[in-house]
Structure 1
Amino acid sequence: MADQPEDLVSVSFFLEKNKAAQPLPFRPNNLLSPTCTQLPVRNQDFNNEGDDDSFPIAGVVPGRKGSLQASMMREDKCGNFPLRLITVMVKVSKFLDRKRTLVDRLRQKNESAERLHLEFGNCYQPDFQILYARLVNKLAKLNEQMESYLKLVAEYGSTLLPHLTEVTLTSRPETLRKFCLSRATQLVKQCIPPGMDHGLDQGAVELVVSMCALLLQLRSLGQQQTLSAYDVRLVNKVLVEIKDHLEPKVRQSFEDSVEVAIRRVTMSLTNNQCCSGMPLAS
């Protein structure tokens, strides 16, 4: 949950923006028919056994710059609300329902795995492993697609209310990460003697900068009153990125000496916040 109540877009905002008090003639288009206003949703997209979890939106392509502004300029409306915004919200709702189903199935698989472990040890049937891997892949793919549509929702919010420039809960960890990277770069440059920067290994310098930024990020998280799941996820993501840039011969040492310590610090911050009566924001 957010640290403070978020400003919601009221109905009066759209009524005033679109001049709903004046009678407007209906303008049919290719997305909205005069007889039916229900948004088209393909049933096969949400089939529990289907492998295709892609939910394209007509006129809005996640990750493509300019598509949102072009759709806003056309001003396709469903009543007094932007049609594509409603479409995105419907898709996000479907994503959440689908994710709840996958999480429930994953919980059942974990319970089955625990029972199999008690009976047979670490020997799992190949069919069970295949089904479990498919479920994890579906959940990972769903998270990536849902993140794209959540970015669209954030873009619509900034387009409709440009005067709200506060950092949101989802963008706060990334903003903190960028600030820590900038600060770490300055600190490393100050430690390098003049004229010695060209003779240093740039890969090693970037590794030192990334580690310094991660430590600064952990210090900032420890000073915050609330710790969100986005903060923890970003820390884990940074660890994976640093580990991917390491050579294989030193990767195991990094996991045993550095990664374990970082994860313990993160877990300690989470546990301390829960013990203090402040639940982890999600």
Structure 2
Amino acid sequence: MESHTDESQDAVENLEIEDKGDTSQEMQENVNRLKNVLKLSKARRFAYCEFFYSPVDAQIFCSENEFLSLVKENLPNLRTKKLRKSEWRVIRRLIGKPRRLSVNFLKEERRTLEEKRAKIQNVYRGEVTQIDPDSVDLPSKLPRPLMVGTKVFAKLSGQKDGVYAGTIDATQDDGYRVVFEKENLFPTTVVTEDQVMSAVPQELLSLSYFLTTNKANLKSQLPPSNNVFLPSQALVERMQQQSVITGYTIDPQSNMSLPVYNTVPQKKTSVRDDKVGNFPVRMLVIIVKMCKLLEHKRSTIKLLRSLNDEAIKLSRYGTQFPKPFVTAFAEVVVDLESINKMLRVYAEALNEYRSNLLNQRSRPVVTDRPEVLRRTCHNHANQILKHCSSVIQVQDEKAKEVIAMLSSLLLQIRFLGQHAISSRSCAEEITILTDSLKELKDSLPADCHAAFQDGVEVHLKQIFNTLLKVRPQNGI
């Protein structure tokens, strides 16, 4: 009962008024009553089901439903929503009794909902350029996808069941990575798209706008259609090898004009992969440009967060956004989108040199074969556990396995720390440790994940973040 009370208290901590001096006594009493009600699990579930909608689900559920469509179809002249009970009974008799809450009906509704969500996500990704009218009925208007820095409310389940305030830190295929305002209680978590609600109203755009944008982006990615008129590479080389007529001369015997040929030497193509310090020049240029772009992206995201906070303040006080503010916000968003496109282009270009760089490594290091490091540390951990079994008796085999894996993780951290000088990149080491941490977490039962996150994962991630800030990156 005490744990349930603590969970309820955590779930309503965000329901606080920022400026209590400006509110009336009646408002304070109403807020206190609401807090007390939300301590009940059924009341919290009712509030969540009734008022919590993601931006996409709000357009799906809060748009015109099937019943309103039937009313408009059968009673097109009905303009009022205030009806007597007898009038309402007549309307229901005319329309017919719908079959609700049956197993097949609910299963079909859930399947249709998932299809709509998947279709909208495909529209956001740019994979859809036209909608089949017979497939899925999508809303006529859709919000923009949530951006980095947007204030949101995220629904968490499990021990800390509730809705909590946070900020979007990154977007992923399976949802959003949310940083909560109370970082000491909640670590950074990936939340699915349907469990995230924006703290501010989102701008709605027509579905045709997204389809037109996707079609334009798709056309820009296609190769030009007039390539059929270009000469082939073999024809170009043959023409370059042919002699060029530079003039004519008269043959004294036949009095005929003969052409004078001049062989044009073939130009040497510039070497694309000139090297400096055993590294291709083009690769070094790409890396420098990517570093500058990443620095520019950091400053742009900071500016976007400040503008987003200012927008929240303006909307909270009910004032309209000034035109210069809207223009500045739009410029920042467009700038961030162009930066991401350029980074993708540079990343694809840099990927060409990956195999060459791996082959050019002068001597092997620990991070080249992480599976060998894990196996060695795991064997060493089992030996330590056997040595200590004479002093500490552990009967449960699963507990022994968890102890061995935790010891193996500590040995990996110690080994990588001792060989930090020979390592090429701190990020490679952290990737190895993160994979080992994930493997350990997956081996635990589901009811132990929360304790593992609070007791192990949070502290290790703090160590990883500190290493990335303190240790210099050795590069490639």
TM-score normalised to the size of structure 1?
0.41
* Greater share of strand: 2
Larger radius of gyration between Structure 1 and Structure 2 = 2
Q: Which has the higher contact order (CA 8 A, sep 6+)?
A: 1
TM-score normalised to the size of structure 2?
0.27
